[in-house]
Chain A
Amino acid sequence: MVDTIKVYPSKPAKVYFYGTCLVDMFYPDAGIAGVELLEREGIEVLFPQNQTCCGQPAYTSGYHDEARSVARAQLDLFPGDWPIVVPSGSCGGMMRKHYPDLFKDTTEEVKAAEVAGRVWELTDFLLNVCHIKLEDLGEPTTVAMHTSCSARREMGVAEVGPKLLGQLKNVNLVEQIRPEECCGFGGTFAVRHPEISGAMVSEKVDTLVDTGAKEFVTTDCGCLMNIAGYAEKNEKPVSGQHILSFLWARTQGKGGQQS
């Protein structure tokens, strides 16, 4: 499942930024934060305006013809050989791991594999390709982190978030129990099996609250809207943001609040 051998490219002059549909519509601040972090590392960010969605919702629902037609529309967005960075383990996993399967036995097979090979989860890229050094300008705070299942298991970046947060001298990272357990999002799973998903997210929120942290960060907007949405509705004392928003705000002296 996880790439056991990952060969990182050397730091490029440019990258393609694939924003994902959830970031596009609901969490554009997280996308902008990612862009700012990349630009501060001296990387030019190319944002193909024709990007839409990676196709994953249809893919995991079994509608592979539809997933393929949406994914096909993304394949032409990256004509140069620059890396493609994605602020999500889930969409990143779809493109890196599942595009080759989805286009197997089609005329786009080679192209899909080529695109897939250039896809990187953005925090992984910042840490292991840019070798980013973060200077914490924020007030002392305590946070917990939820790494999405796809970031952890498909993109193999479980260690990345904690390492980045570890660079922030005023940030105390605490770990909830069962950090590796799914929050219950799972895309259409959350609406197909609402009670099971609800039971999963309620336990996830309880474990986060138990850490004493008032906020958590995560690699994926799906988990974010699930966990933070549950906490908000049920008035639990924990709020969340995308890890990129947090990292950018901390290193801009804005105290870890969402810009």
Chain B
Amino acid sequence: MSETAEHTGHHIDVKEFHPRAQAAIHNPKIRKNFRSAMDGLMSKRKTAFEGWDLETLRDLGANIRMRALANLPDLLEQLEAKLTENGVKVHWAVDGDEACRIVRDICKARDARTVIKGKSMVSEEMELNHYLQEQGIEALESDLGEYIVQLADETPSHIIMPAIHKNTGEISQLLHDKTGTDLSNDVEYLTASARLQLREKFMNADVGVSGVNFAVAETGTLCLVENEGNGRMTTTVPPCHIAVTGIEKVVPTMEDVTGLLALLTRSATGQHITTYFNMISGPRKTEELDGPEEVHLVLVDNGRSTIYQDDELLDTLRCIRCGACMNHCPVYTRVGGHAYGTTYPGPIGKILMPHLIGLDEGRHLPTASSLCGACGEVCPVKIPIPDLLVRLRQESVDGDKLHPAKVRGHGAKRSSMEAMIWKGWAWMHASPGIYRLGTGVASKFRALQPSKAGAWTDYRTAPKLAAKTLHQRMKERGQ
């Protein structure tokens, strides 16, 4: 395959959000799986933060991330220098395709045929599995949720719990069909079966690929947060470990990690601490008995440095990928993760994906929100998600002459008809006399008000015009 003929991966049309959302809403199984899972996660998070001064902790989290981002270029250089000193090879990738090629080249140089993977959303962003498959390299997911999703030839529906859209029965059937396990509702049995199959893969894999939760610049340490031990296996058993991560994941010191970790695990799964917390600082040293011979870090930009250049959009990069915004999102809860058709679903996906795929492709994403603010309220690093959604809505219709749009694909949603309606609306509401006349006439002839009002009345009755407006009644009162 030539360098330019890029891999195809899963081709989901992001623009088809509406039909997918509609299908999900009319699918009782999807509705039930997400509602009960999100209820559980919300309640766990609440319990986990009991006794904590959550607002102060969120301020701390936000400040750690803001400080790290303020010094991002320097921190990345420091990280590279320190990792290199530790014996880790650092690579830079401008986009997902380049990152894939880097991983491939490392694999080819070692003549690697099999890759075992720990959970990594950046690798999903890169569509790495499909790419490697096309290159004749087998890539197997080892995180249980990712493993299930891979067996089903699907994409993750949640960034922390990739297979949350499936219930135990569906998972049992899938494992039975694909791997020959017995049908069972016993979660322990199903987990043990998957573990048995994965264990052998770990021992034989040529390369392990993982993500990174925090990259510490001062020490050159890659931190990996996980519960299943598969992350530790992936990063220590195969002779070569490749970590892939977004360039925004760097923090200055190990002390910064402690605050973020406390927020991450509680926000994500309601855990005080995960079962495993890995700190990877380099390949096996001569006196050590285990660990990989080679460790690589691939730092992926993929649109992040463009986001970085805008003071407001920059806040998007604070994200530590806890998933709390989706757990608390009333839209995500109704439509599930696949409806979005994007690597990152839910609120964080709505503010991040337009930068990765262009606002033309992702034009429906910022509108799929009631702006209720639940996401911003729970975000452990206080990303003002609703404000960023409004900003992207403005960008998608080129709606602000004072602050011209700059996101790639901006203006794609602007229609001259809609723009004209808003112009007319603004003219009426900026002219008090016209407004009073218009609303007064509407009230007077309210008997003529139609009972249908577009999509509104598919679900509700139309609001009824009052006999007299508040303006009129206040005037009658002499006010």
Contacts and interface: CB of A to CB of B under 8 A. Distances in A.
A174 interface: no
Interface stretch (B137-145, B204-212, B462-470): B462-470
B393 A62 contact: yes
B429 A226 contact: no
Chain A contact residues (Cβ within 8 angstroms of B): what range?
35 or more
A200 B370 contact: yes
A196 B21 contact: yes
A26 B377 contact: no
A164 interface: no
Interface stretch (A115-123, A147-155, A245-253): A147-155
Contacts of A19: 470-471, 474
Given A1-B377, A1-B384, A198-B459, A106 B429 contact: no
B475 interface: yes
A67 B395 CA distance: 15
Interface in B433-458: 435-436, 439, 442-443, 454-458
A153 B443 CA distance: 33
B402 interface: yes
Interface of chain A: mostly helix, strand, loop or mixed = helix
A28 B469 contact: yes
Contacts of B117: none
Contacts of A52: 428-430, 432, 435
A53 B387 CA distance: 20
B470 A31 contact: yes
Interface string A171-190: 00000000011101111111
Contacts, number: 215
A225 B460 CA distance: 8
Contact of B371 (A60, A196, A234): A60
A4 interface: yes
A193 interface: yes
A32 B473 contact: yes
Interface stretch (B96-104, B276-284, B330-338): B330-338
Interface string A236-251: 0000000000000000
Nearest to A66: B426
Given A1-B377, A195-B22, A197-B370, A63 B419 contact: yes
A27 B466 contact: yes
Contact of A191 (B371, B436, B456): B456
A225 B430 CA distance: 25
B391 to A, nearest CB: 9
Contacts of B458: 194, 198
A73 B432 contact: yes
Interface-centre pick from B55, B331, B460, B473 (highest chain A CB count, 10 A): B460
B397 A25 contact: no
B274 to A, nearest CB: 27
A82 interface: no
Given A32-B473, A49-B436, A196 B377 contact: no
A62 B395 contact: yes
Nearest to B397: A62
Interface in B272-306: none
B417 to A, nearest CB: 13
17 contacts: A26-B464, A31-B474, A32-B473, A49-B471, A58-B426, A62-B413, A63-B422, A66-B422, A69-B426, A149-B373, A182-B372, A184-B370, A186-B369, A186-B370, A192-B367, A197-B370, A229-B462
Top-7 shortest CB links A-B: A186-B370, A229-B460, A62-B393, A182-B372, A66-B426, A194-B455, A50-B432
Interface of A: 1-2, 4, 17, 19, 21-29, 31-32, 35, 45-47, 49-53, 55, 57-70, 72-73, 101, 105-106, 149-150, 152-154, 180-182, 184-202, 225-226, 229-230, 232-234
